[in-house]
Structure 1
Amino acid sequence: MQRRELLKSLAAGALTLAGGGTAGASDWPARPVRLVVPFAAGGAADTMARILVEKLREAAGYSFYVENVVGAGTMIATEQVARSAPDGHTFLLAASAHTINPAVQRVRYDPIGDFTPVNLVVSPLHVLVVHNDLPVRNAAELIAYAKERPGKVRYGSVGHGTSTHIEAELFARMAGIELVHVPYRGSAPALQDLVTGRLEIMFDALASSKPHMEARVIRSLGVTSAERSSLLPDMPTIAEAGLPGYEAVPWLGLFGPAKLSGDIVQRLNAVVGQVLKTEDVKRRFAELGLEILCYEPERFASFIGADLKKWDQVARDAGLKQVN
């Protein structure tokens, strides 16, 4: 998306947030509200969504339910919500794929113009983990190790064009090193190969890597966030550990379709914020490796614009852009 088009879309989104839309909040919700989750049941994102729905019911009496719509790297669910009526009865639990997919392939929706941001809820903490026998203790040593072995250091991901893939490409581009990408169908098989030494490194969610870290069969060199996480307060950031300026923020947030009433947006944002402050939610989300963000709609919109631009540039630099 060109810069002028991006600014026009952001401006249109701001107008929507200011109160545009087709339905007011006075009689909302008039029926059960569908939260479309583009992931299979049982995973961290699905579990997070079900906790959120449960707490929304308790806090405000909202009749929400989760519908899992899986396929095409979240694009089927995303397109479905983009085409839904802006009446406040369909929402999307979007993920980092929302800003990464348009950078690596053609999508059939506008990631800004077809949606109304509601709340950037959490960041699933990601870590850079390495095989236990790799003779490096921080990001700076890993970079030096890779520079001495161009094209020899292998990293796993949960698939081409996923957050764990593009985070590693950002690391490689910034560090000036050549890494070999090995895509997998999920985190578990990639981690198994990391444990056994078939891979040297991997960017992964804390939730899936933590048991292996605690068993001391892999170790983390740092978190991908710009600041240290409350979930791992003693773990340095990758920027601190040897690659200044590195930052990758995986995320999960709520969108409605475009032209959703600003009244409904603000009402739902407020009750989500209320829910995220409860000790039970904080504890349960921490157990899932989720750091609470709770961005309001305007800040969420700005974040999305910057994230789209960032990953588009990384994809172009790494030659990941596909046309299909």
Structure 2
Amino acid sequence: MTHRLKLKVITAAALAFTTMHAYADKYPSKPINIIVPFSPGGVTDVMARLIATKLQEDLGETVIVVNKAGAGTTIATNYVAKAAPDGYNILMAASSFTIGPSLYKEKAGYDPEKNFKPVSLLATIPHLLVVNPKLPVNDVTTLIQNMKSNSALANYGSSGSGTSNHLEAELFASLGGIKPNHIPFKGSVPALTAIAGNDVSFMFVDIAAAKPFIDSGKVKAIAVTTAKRSALLPQLPTVEESGLKSFNATPWLGFVVHSGTPDSIIATLNKSLAKMQSDPQVKERFTAMGIEPVFNSTTEFQKFMQSDRVKWEEVVTRAQISAVD
């Protein structure tokens, strides 16, 4: 390489470095996109639009929700992974973010730790363990005993293969020493309808989907999946309290950005989200959707995601679950 060419390379690198820091110094200076990996109208989409409004108020710049559903959330995830590392495309990541690479292998197209940086956890979504109300079951221990003694009861429903509630049931089965049959449905409502009809024995499901069925007496909730009791249903014991040691499943939502995003931009977003989480209106709206608002540091969120990835990778491997044809 000639001296002149070396000088050009060094100058170009310095210019790129200076430009990136200039963007960071005045961030945001143009509309921000929140990339949602699900279709409009769902809980994640509604939550993203609420957050967009609050960020816009605080940051003084337009914040737009962009829905990119499909391929088990990998379309949206890879879109952000390949976007410019400038903080203007933020991924509304869900539990599928850390589960995806185990399910899709190399077809996932991304590494959650190498291709992204955490901004903050936004919320946890407690799931419920529900059964048919006619079953003589009020706790986890009795449910497991019944399935061990009556093979006709040893089946469960989910909203689809590879979904978080599918993996939760596999973790439950492994820790409980049972081998129930998995019957996947196209969504939570058909699966809950099957529970109500006693076609399957149990399933794990989010509060928002289960509430109408619980209120009408069609299904019965016997435990919550999180490590601690949910503030939304404090009377309901955890799965661990109800008889299954070491069970903990915490579906979540959070913000992540391209791994090359400057730390100063991430700090700006993190600070704005901290303000949002203290807003009573936000807490009220989250609670109404069966969601518990959570805020943490980038370091805490990184550790949380790493632990989540390892746990579900073990479940996927043990149960031999794959979304790859």
Task: Tell me the TM-score normalised to structure 1 length.
Answer: 0.91
1:104 aligns with 2:98: no
- Which contiguous aligned blocks of 4+ residues in structure 1 show a shift greater than 6 angstroms? none
Deviation of the 1:321 alpha carbon: 4.0
1:40 aligns with 2:36: no
Decide whether aligned partners of structure 1 residues 309 and 151 sit closer, same or farther in structure 2, where only a CA change above 3 A counts: farther
Opposite residue 83 of structure 1, the aligned amino acid is K
| Structure with more relative contact order (C-alpha pairs < 8 Å, separation 6 or more) | 1
Aligned residue in 2 for 1:180: 181
Deviation of the 1:149 alpha carbon: 2.5
- Superimposed CA distance per residue, residues 252-281 of structure 1 (whole angstroms, 9 cap, x where no aligned partner): 000111111100101101111110111100
Deviation of the 1:151 alpha carbon: 6.7
Q: Percent identity?
A: 39
Aligned residue in 2 for 1:113: 114
Deviation of the 1:105 alpha carbon: 2.1
Mark the structure with the bigger radius of gyration.
2
Q: Does the Cα contact within 8 Å between 1:152 and 1:180 map onto a contact in 2?
A: no
Aligned residue in 1 for 2:284: 283
Aligned residue in 2 for 1:243: 244
Aligned residue in 1 for 2:62: 63
Q: Does the Cα contact within 8 Å between 1:95 and 1:252 map onto a contact in 2?
A: yes
Q: Does the Cα contact within 8 Å between 1:57 and 1:64 map onto a contact in 2?
A: yes
Opposite residue 247 of structure 1, the aligned amino acid is N
Aligned residue in 2 for 1:15: none
Task: Measure the CA separation in 2 of the matches of 1:249 and 1:228.
Answer: 11
Task: Measure the CA separation in 2 of the matches of 1:44 and 1:322.
Answer: 24
Task: Measure the CA separation in 1 of the matches of 2:32 and 2:152.
Answer: 50
Q: What is the SS of the residue equivalent to 2:234?
A: coil
- Superimposed CA distance per residue, residues 113-167 of structure 1 (whole angstroms, 9 cap, x where no aligned partner): 1011101100112110111111110011111111112474221111111100000
Q: What is the SS of the residue equivalent to 2:27?
A: coil
Aligned residue in 1 for 2:15: none
CA root-mean-square deviation = 1.4
Q: Does the Cα contact within 8 Å between 1:33 and 1:90 map onto a contact in 2?
A: yes
Q: What is the SS of the residue equivalent to 1:74?
A: helix
Q: What is the SS of the residue equivalent to 2:246?
A: coil
Aligned residue in 2 for 1:216: 217
Opposite residue 122 of structure 1, the aligned amino acid is A
Aligned residue in 1 for 2:271: 270
Q: What is the SS of the residue equivalent to 2:30?
A: coil
Q: What is the SS of the residue equivalent to 2:316?
A: helix
Aligned residue in 2 for 1:30: 29
Task: Measure the CA separation in 2 of the matches of 1:98 and 1:105.
Answer: 11
Task: Measure the CA separation in 2 of the matches of 1:172 and 1:249.
Answer: 17
Q: What is the SS of the residue equivalent to 2:25?
A: coil
1:91 aligns with 2:90: yes
The number of equivalent residue pairs is: 304
Deviation of the 1:58 alpha carbon: 2.0
